[in-house]
Amino acid sequence: MERLDRATTELIAQEVKGRFPEGSPASVAVLQYGDDPAVEPGQIVIQVTVEPAAGTRDDDDPLEAFHQANRDAIKQLQRDIPQRWPQANRFKLISSRDEGAAKRRLMMLRIPEPDDPKSDLTPVMARLGQDDLKTLDTLISVGFAANRAQAIRWALARIRERPAYAQLREHAKEIEDLESQF
């Protein structure tokens, strides 16, 4: 999982920026593993920074306005980019209006992967510390999973295989039965 060189990241950024009207977006950055904690090993996130349109009110959402105005270009990028750069599977739209990363509003647009599970999966958001991220990234690096979501599903499957888990489920069922008697 080598990092892309500067020329390749600049090519990606130019191609993405060229899909939008002049001056919109403000900037495009190509984030790789190590650039941002949200970027997984072998993954590329295309970060598009949006400036509020002239004359907009403070309570107007520049991300939503940009998304609405450029919906077709974004959809086409979601189809085209993975064909040229398979590692690129996220667009991160951020607003330059707010100062500081903690205040920035963002909109993540996922690029579908061809090997996405087709079954009914429930999205779960979890905040993980550095040790947990390193654990997941190690599972990815050694080939147990292709991404963090798969690594978590892999780890949960290993827990379910343990005899202690079956005992734990039985105890949980007994507690549920007792609670229903009250």
Q: Are residues 129 and 92 in the same domain?
A: no
Q: Are residues 25 and 107 in the same domain?
A: yes
pLDDT in tens, 30-66: 999 989 888 888 888 888 888 876 666 666 677 788 8
Q: Are 65 and 76 in contact (CB under 8 A)?
A: no
pLDDT in tens, 58-106: 666 777 888 888 889 888 888 888 788 887 878 888 887 655 544 445 5
Tell me the C-alpha distance between 24 and 54, whole Å. Answer: 12
The more confidently predicted of residues 88 and 151 is: 151
- The pLDDT of residue 111 is above 60: no
pLDDT at 102 (0 to 100)? 40
Q: Are 124 and 153 in contact (CB under 8 A)?
A: no
Q: Are residues 110 and 136 in the same domain?
A: no
pLDDT at 10 (0 to 100)? 92
Q: Are residues 129 and 108 in the same domain?
A: no
Q: Are residues 107 and 136 in the same domain?
A: no
Counting residues of the chain whose pLDDT is more than 90, the rounded percentage is: 24
Q: What is the mean pLDDT of residues 127-138?
A: 92
Q: Are residues 13 and 96 in the same domain?
A: yes
The more confidently predicted of residues 121 and 137 is: 137
Q: What is the mean pLDDT of residues 7-22?
A: 89
pLDDT at 115 (0 to 100)? 57
Instruction: Please identify, among 97, 116, 135, the residue that sits at the C-terminal boundary of a domain.
Output: 116
Q: Are residues 126 and 110 in the same domain?
A: no
Range of the domain at 25: 1-116
Number of H helices, E strands in the chain: 6, 4
User: How many domains are contained in the chain?
Assistant: 2
Give the range among 39-43, 93-97, 125-129, 172-176 with minimum mean pLDDT. 93-97
Q: Are residues 96 and 171 in the same domain?
A: no
Instruction: Please identify, among 64, 98, 116, the residue that sits at the C-terminal boundary of a domain.
Output: 116
Q: Are residues 122 and 80 in the same domain?
A: no
Q: Are residues 14 and 98 in the same domain?
A: yes
Q: Are residues 13 and 87 in the same domain?
A: yes
Q: Are 92 and 108 in contact (CB under 8 A)?
A: yes
Counting residues of the chain whose pLDDT is more than 70, the rounded percentage is: 82
Domain CATH for 90: 3.30.70
Q: Are residues 101 and 138 in the same domain?
A: no
Q: Are 92 and 31 in contact (CB under 8 A)?
A: yes
Q: Are 66 and 105 in contact (CB under 8 A)?
A: no
pLDDT at 120 (0 to 100)? 77
